[in-house]
Every structure is written in structure tokens, then in C-alpha cells.
Structure 1
Amino acid sequence: MLFNSFEFLIFLPIIVFGFYFIDHKYRWGWLLLGSYLFYSFHEPELLILLLISTITDYFCGLKMADASHKLKKLYLGLSLTVNLGMLFIFKYLGFFTNSVNDLFTFFGVELTTQENMGSYNFSNILLPVGISFYTFQTLSYTIDIYRGAIKPERHFGIFALYVAFFPQLVAGPIERASRLIPQLRSHVKVNLPNIKKGLILIAWGFFLKVVVADRLGIYVDTAFAKPDSPHGFALTLGAIFFMFQIYFDFSAYTSIALGVAKTIGVELMQNFNRPIFATTVSGFWKSWHISLMQWLRDYVFLPLGGSRGSKAKTIRNVIILFFVVGLWHGASWTFVIWGLLNALLLILDFGTAKLRKKVFDSLGLKKRSIDLIGWFFGVSYIILTLVFFRAPSLNDALTYIEHMFQFKSMHVNILESYFELILSIIFILGVQTVHYYKGNDKIYDLVIGQPAYVRWSYYVAYVFIIALFAINRQNTFIYFQF
């Protein structure tokens, strides 16, 4: 079920009202039932994988509680094998098979042909929605038990709800058991101010999605459909718009997720902290998709040694980290290249830090000027790398970048509507102004505490903007494909 669907507008009030009318002892069952309905609304068979992951990690968690170190390793291995195995089969098997086949073909060895592939057409394997998110979430649970950081949850229903909690099930944030499970157990009372905050976050998320992100997506789709276009300025603007589209799209999902959870007394972690305003590359990655980067830091980067060893080892660890970042986002070499390009920028960033400081000091530049330079080059590089993220193939990405810098034409109005173009720019500037002053998670501060006439002016303006400018396409959120 999509957040931006009519079904969800019916589903959410039923879940919230039911939650507060049901006795506290049975609320977990109500939320679990709602979560399974939410996830399986269009594809009930996907519940099978979710249940396999849930049962496996519940069992492994309990068994690790009092097991010897050797047995703990065995049960952790079982958890990793089942979860990563399902992720590999449903997300990466086709990519791996095709890559190996292409490699051997390059050396003149034909491994498979379309004739003998028969029914083994891996490209037809369905990618379960949200599998990357709930796999990482439930793996953090078993790994933390193995490390002794948490105790296993013995109530199967509560644990199942932790895995399947519908506000953040399909696109995060990726929550840790130590943070979410206690909240799912807590006795929540009706808190009208908190519910109002949640509703405002939901409304803001809807606006970001159906008015801004989906509108930008129309221009982006048109630009990327013709990577060899002679209109270099239009391609450049398409790349810039895509950076904002993916940011607003994911920010929209997170705002709705945080708002929905808040209406039932659960505080999910913030997944964004104004990343586009970061003045350093490391600052951008610390504030973009925060839950994923923290997960990879704790379970991949630090176990490899982090940045504690030699420079060579640090570089190796950064490359591995961003290889995983790229591959996590999609089973394609375009995502891998995107991740590795970001690794390269981070390596250059910390590798040239001393040299840059000497240059800036010799030029007498103030911190504000240095930050502005860092922001400009950082954002420009991110826009360029995101072409690989958006393009359907490496060839399309390279063609797109090549033609971006061929300014044979000043034409940018590829939609044949200057109104839409100007409107998109106005919305970008407006949203970024709000994010600059209030961030992603404090939007309700603009409304709560204001006089009644100001609040109602906001409400009327919101309804008017949604009715007039919403893109009625019910597009899925970009991160649903990951």
C-alpha cells in the first residue's frame, strides 16, 4: 500500500482510532495485523519472505541468549545465511548471473544462451518491496544479541511487530531493536498535541511527494529519456532536478513515516538533517539517509577497522563501505559506480585536507567563504554522480554526462511549459527555505503555537495548493525499488 494512495487515507484513521480504543495488552496484535495488511495489500505472497525472516531471527535470538560462544556463532550464521540469502536471490541473483556471463563472454566463453536458459530467467524474479530495509533491521537485532548489546525479545508478537512496523517497513528509517521495541511495549495514552504534530508531518510529506517531487520527476523523466539530446542546459537542469527529486521524495516518505508513528506515540529516528546544506562531503553523508549510514558504520565500516589503521586500510574500508552503499541501492553497475565515485570524493576530501588548509590560509579566506566553496563543489559533484544513480545503464549515464557539457543550445523548456518550469523552481526554493530554518522534522513549529487565524490560513492554503498543483499519478516512492 502506498502512503500517497486513497486506500491509505482510509487505512490510517482506522488503525489510529482502533489503536486507542483497544486495550493496551492487545494493541501489538492490532498494529501487527495492520502492518501485514499494509505490506501485503497488493502482493500477499510477499508476506512469506517477511515471516521467514521474522521466525528465523526470533528463533536465533532466543537460542543465542544462553548459548556458548561457538553456538552463538552458529545461530548468527544461520540468521545471516537466511536473510542475506533471500536478499541475494530476490535482488542480486540476476545481476550476479548476468555479470558473470558478460565477463566470460568478454573473454570469448559462452556460458549460457537464451535457448538453454529455459525457465531460469532471473530477470523475472520479483523484487519484494522493502526487503533491503527489513533485512538490515532484523539483522541488526541478531548481531546486537551476539555482541551482548541487547537481550532477545521473548514475546513473538512484539518482535514480529518490530520487524513489520508499517510506518517504516518498506523504506525506513532502519530502526534498532533497543530503540523501537521498548516503544512498542509502552502504554501510550491519547496525546492530542503529539497527534497534531504527526498529522502536520504527514501533510508536509504529502506535499513534498505529490506536489514537488512528482512534479520534478516529469522534467527528469523527459531529460533522461534522451541522454544524447543536444540541449546541454536542459540535461544539466534535469540532473539538478533529479538531486532535488530524490531528496524530496525520500524526505516525503520519512516525514509521513515519522508522522504516522507519532500519531500512535512512537518516535522514529530522523533520516535526514538538511544534507543539501552540508559544506563537506562527510557532512553530507552523515546527514543523508542517516539510519542506513549508521547501520553500515556499525556493522560494516567499524568491524573492518574504520579509520583507526593506516591510510591504506582506511581507503580500503571506505571503498568497501561505499561499494556496499551502491549495491544496497540497486543490483546494477550504475549504482556500484555511483557508490565508488562517492568513495573517491571522500578519499580525496580527507587526503587533501592539510593541503587545502594551507592553500586557504595563504589566500586569507574566511570560514564562510571556505564553506561556500566546499558546498558548491560538493553539490556539483553529487549532482554529477547522481546521473549514474538515475540512468538505466552505464552507457546512458556516460552519454548523458557527455552531452551535459555540450552547450549547443540554450533550450531548457523541454516540457514546452515555462509555467511548469518556473513553478518547479519556486517550489524548490520554498521547500529549501523551510528546511534551512526548520529542518526536516520540525515543520510543525511553523503551525503549532500560532494564533488561530494563522493556523487556519495555513490549512486553507495547503488544501488549495494540493488541489491545484498535486500531480495525480500515484507514483511509487523512489526508495521502494531498493
Structure 2
Amino acid sequence: MARATARVRKYYLALSIAVNIGMLCTFKYLAFFSNTINQLLVFLGMGHSSTNAIDTYNFSQLLLPIGISFYTFQTLSYTIDVYRRKIEPETHLGWFALYVCFFPQLVAGPIERASRLLPQLKRQTQLHLPNIKQGLVTMAWGFFLKVVVADRLGVYVDEAFENAQSPHGIALFLGALFFCFQIYFDFSAYTAIAIGTAKTLNIDLMQNFNRPFFSTSARQFWKRWHISFMHWLRDYLYQPLVKNYKLSRVTAILIVFFVNGLWHGANWTFVVWSLLNAVLLIIEVSTNKIRQQLIKKLKLPQKVVAFLGWAIVGGYLMLSLVFFRATSIEHAVVYIKSMFQFGSLHINILNNYIELAICLVLIILVQTVHYFKGNNKIHELVIGKPTYIRWSIYISFIAIISLFAINRQNTFIYFQF
């Protein structure tokens, strides 16, 4: 492909994209697209409302491969980079297969680039004790985030969303807030485990999060959330749409966030969630000059501006994530309506105030650690400390995970994508 003519290279690129996207659509979106088309035909008076694509064509027999969205986009980035002559094509099938199937990040990312990961896989290496220590500490932090924090929040969140019509608006508000942190801790937990595992093998994977819930603007949030995927959308979708196809920034953002939503799942709830965030981002970009002039005119302190930005973005994200968690758009609308019913001061839908207190303390604890150490320097809390302190931390960590882990079968949320 690299040495072929421009026309032939385009054919190869189109073939690769068609095969990759075709497999993704077959396994993940076939039933979704079929039902959507059928509903459109029903609306136009040309279909049958009783028809269901899943039942009619036995789509339920198609088992969704775990992590298909991640390694599909990873292979697409390789093909596009070869087409753009940014990297040389890999001639050895084994190395290419290892790049695609590198087990720590295979099922839920980060989505790595061939230019970054392949050279690391090929280099000669040997056991490096500091990297093993750092990797194990990072993995332990990931396990803590998952089984102690995220899964504990999930118990409350599940109960809240199963009672979307509850008159206890504050309890549902708390459920939406907890889901924000559940999905963040759950996904960053897997990322920490993947990065830690790779580190023990002397492989550096890119960070996927950078304290997103401390963001003071929508633009800042999307630069800090799921970094590898957002960089993928920027480099392979947004920039070509703006530079090559001369689309406006607003149109390109809407397309990017539509793809972002659909990538997360074959349900319109994900699309609505993503497009709601696109609207916020567009408003923010479009009103930037006006807001700056208003801030200057009112002489607002920078800390006040930052706090207002953080509160607005955080609140908006929390409401939009209701669509992400809900089973349908109707379910999300009912939940949001119920959130604003304040006829009761009841705040604990589980009626267990000890668990509620633990949840709040854990959120504050983790966010404090992330504020000072970010998502990529957790190991600094342990590495370099005297031996007796390090081993005290190790034993305490093992005890905490063993005693406070939620005992139920919870897969990582992003495994479904």
C-alpha cells in the first residue's frame, strides 16, 4: 500500500475501512439499524409495528465480541496512518497481530497508535524492578477504584434508576451524581489496570484520563475524558471534515459527537447524551468572545469564573449522563422530571446511611488523590517511601480491598462497547 499509486492506495484504504466498519456494524449495529429503518417505515405507513428485527432475523444469536469498538478503531488508525505515509506498513503479521491484540488494553483501551506501541513491542527488554513496582501499585489502585468504589456506587445507582418515578427527587439527584463518578471510576479503573499491567512488561500506554471532573469548561472536559478516543476522533474525523471537506466547525462537532454517541452503544440514548454535550460545546465556543467581554466588564475574579464554569459544566454533564445510563429516552425523561420533585427530603433510596456515608467519603478521597496526583502519578504515594511505610500501605490496601469490595459480578461498564 505504501509504495502503490495514490489511486490504488485509496482503494486499499476504502477496502480496509469497509471491512472494519462492516464487521463493527454487523456485530454491534445490525439489529439497531434494522429496527430504526423498520420504525421509520412504520411512521411512513410502509411497515408493521409488530415486527422486531431481533426476533425476525435472530440477531440475538450474534454474540458481540468484547472490546470490538476499541480494536476496530485501533486497526483503522493504523491503516489511515499508513495511507497518510505517517508510518511504514508492518510487514510481519505477528507484530501487527500483537499490536492489535496486546492483551492489557485489548478489550477497553486505551486506543493506541501503531507509531507509539509497535516500537515498544519490538524493542529488546528485560525485567525492570522499578517498572514492576510502579505497575503493580497502579494495578492495585485500579482494583480499588473498581471493586471498592465504582461497584459500591453502582448499587445505589441501579436502585435509583430502577425507581425512576420515585417522588424522592433528592435521592434520584444523588443517583445521577453517583453515576457520574461510577462511570468515571469504573473506566479509569480498567485504564489503571491496563496501564499498570503493561508497565510491568516495560510498555508505556497512554493515559486516558486527566482529572476530568475538575474541568471548568466543556472543551477542557473533552480534552481530559477518554483521551485516546477523543484524540482519535480529532485526528481521523474532525480535522478531515474541517480541512478536507471544508465543513463548518459546528457541523463537524455535531458529526463527531454523533459518532461518539453511536460508538458507545447501539441505542439512541447514547446519541442523545453525546449530542447534548455537543450543544454545550458549540454554545461555549460560539459565545467565547461575548463571555470574555462580560467577565471583563463585571470584573469577576478568575476563581469565581472557574467555579461557575465548573458548576455549570458539572451539572450539565450529570443531567446528560442520565441518558447514558437510562434504558430508553423515555426512561431518561421520566428520571429527570422526577429529579426535580422536592416534596420529600429523603436522600437514601437504599435506607442504609452508613453505605451512603462511605460512598461520599470514597468519592472525596479519590478526587482528592486525583487532584494532587492526577490519574498518572498514583504510584508516587507509595514508591520511594521507607520500606516499613510501603509495606504498611501494601497490607492496608489488600485488607481494604478484601473487606470493602462489593461482592457481586460486575463487569466493567466499557466492556459493552
TM exceeds 0.5? Answer: yes
Q: 1:290: how far off? A: 0.2
The aligned residue for residue 194 of structure 2 is 257
State the identity %: 60
Pick which of 457-466 and 272-281 moved more: 457-466
- Separation (CA, whole Å) in 2 of partners of 1:131 and 1:280: 31
- Separation (CA, whole Å) in 1 of partners of 2:287 and 2:166: 36
Q: 1:125: how far off? A: 2.6
The aligned residue for residue 130 of structure 1 is 67
Q: 1:130: how far off? A: 0.4
- Separation (CA, whole Å) in 1 of partners of 2:383 and 2:207: 20
Contact kept in structure 1, 2:165 and 2:338, CA below 8 Å: yes
- Separation (CA, whole Å) in 2 of partners of 1:331 and 1:451: 50
Are 1:213 and 2:147 matched, yes or no? Answer: no
| Structure showing greater relative contact order (alpha-carbon pairs closer than 8 Å, 6 or more residues apart) | 2
- Separation (CA, whole Å) in 1 of partners of 2:243 and 2:296: 30
- Separation (CA, whole Å) in 1 of partners of 2:139 and 2:330: 39
Q: What secondary structure, in the 3-state scheme, does the structure 2 residue paired with 1:91 have? A: helix
Contact kept in structure 1, 2:153 and 2:179, CA below 8 Å: yes
The aligned residue for residue 151 of structure 1 is 88
Are 1:268 and 2:268 matched, yes or no? Answer: no
Are 1:385 and 2:320 matched, yes or no? Answer: yes
**Deviation digits for residues 301-357 of structure 1, max 9, x if unmatched?**
000016996xx8111011001001101001111001011101000010011112211
Are 1:346 and 2:281 matched, yes or no? Answer: yes
Evaluate the alpha carbon distance shift between residue 224 and residue 306 of structure 1 in structure 2; reply closer, same or farther with a 3 A threshold. farther
| TM-score (norm. length: structure 1) | 0.84
| Root mean square deviation, CA, Å | 1.6
Contact kept in structure 2, 1:227 and 1:396, CA below 8 Å: yes
- Separation (CA, whole Å) in 2 of partners of 1:469 and 1:307: 53
Kindly provide the amino acid, as one letter, of the partner of residue 195 in structure 2: L
Q: What secondary structure, in the 3-state scheme, does the structure 1 residue paired with 2:165 have? A: coil
Evaluate the alpha carbon distance shift between residue 112 and residue 402 of structure 1 in structure 2; reply closer, same or farther with a 3 A threshold. closer
Are 1:200 and 2:144 matched, yes or no? Answer: no
**Deviation digits for residues 194-228 of structure 1, max 9, x if unmatched?**
10000000000000000000000000000000111
Are 1:188 and 2:125 matched, yes or no? Answer: yes
Count of residue pairs the alignment pairs up: 417
Q: 1:473: how far off? A: 1.5
**Deviation digits for residues 91-116 of structure 1, max 9, x if unmatched?**
11111111111112123222575499
Q: 1:189: how far off? A: 1.5
**Deviation digits for residues 137-181 of structure 1, max 9, x if unmatched?**
001011111111110111111110000000000000000000000
- Separation (CA, whole Å) in 2 of partners of 1:115 and 1:72: 41
Evaluate the alpha carbon distance shift between residue 401 and residue 115 of structure 1 in structure 2; reply closer, same or farther with a 3 A threshold. closer
Kindly provide the amino acid, as one letter, of the partner of residue 342 in structure 1: N
Kindly provide the amino acid, as one letter, of the partner of residue 384 in structure 1: L
The aligned residue for residue 71 of structure 1 is 8
Are 1:303 and 2:240 matched, yes or no? Answer: yes
Evaluate the alpha carbon distance shift between residue 374 and residue 448 of structure 1 in structure 2; reply closer, same or farther with a 3 A threshold. same
Pick which of 284-293 and 116-125 moved more: 116-125
Are 1:407 and 2:342 matched, yes or no? Answer: yes
Q: 1:460: how far off? A: 2.0
- Separation (CA, whole Å) in 1 of partners of 2:171 and 2:56: 43
Q: 1:122: how far off? A: 2.6
- Separation (CA, whole Å) in 2 of partners of 1:117 and 1:174: 30
Contact kept in structure 2, 1:307 and 1:314, CA below 8 Å: no
Kindly provide the amino acid, as one letter, of the partner of residue 383 in structure 2: I
Are 1:87 and 2:24 matched, yes or no? Answer: yes
Contact kept in structure 2, 1:216 and 1:245, CA below 8 Å: yes
- Separation (CA, whole Å) in 1 of partners of 2:164 and 2:227: 32
Please list, as runs of the form range in 1=range in 2, the aligned pairs for 1:11-410 lying within 5 A after superposition: 64-111=1-48, 113-114=50-51, 120-305=57-242, 313-410=248-345
Pick which of 456-465 and 82-91 moved more: 456-465
The aligned residue for residue 481 of structure 1 is 416
Q: What secondary structure, in the 3-state scheme, does the structure 2 residue paired with 1:65 have? A: coil
Contact kept in structure 1, 2:142 and 2:188, CA below 8 Å: yes
Contact kept in structure 2, 1:174 and 1:292, CA below 8 Å: yes
**Deviation digits for residues 4-37 of structure 1, max 9, x if unmatched?**
xxxxxxxxxxxxxxxxxxxxxxxxxxxxxxxxxx
- Separation (CA, whole Å) in 2 of partners of 1:274 and 1:112: 46
Please list, as runs of the form range in 1=range in 2, the aligned pairs for 1:433-472 lying within 5 A after superposition: 433-472=368-407
Kindly provide the amino acid, as one letter, of the partner of residue 127 in structure 1: L
User: Unaligned stretches of 5+ in structure 2?
Assistant: none
Evaluate the alpha carbon distance shift between residue 86 and residue 446 of structure 1 in structure 2; reply closer, same or farther with a 3 A threshold. same
The aligned residue for residue 17 of structure 1 is none
Q: 1:453: how far off? A: 2.1
Kindly provide the amino acid, as one letter, of the partner of residue 279 in structure 1: T
The aligned residue for residue 34 of structure 1 is none
- Separation (CA, whole Å) in 2 of partners of 1:307 and 1:77: 16
The aligned residue for residue 43 of structure 1 is none
- Separation (CA, whole Å) in 2 of partners of 1:361 and 1:106: 51
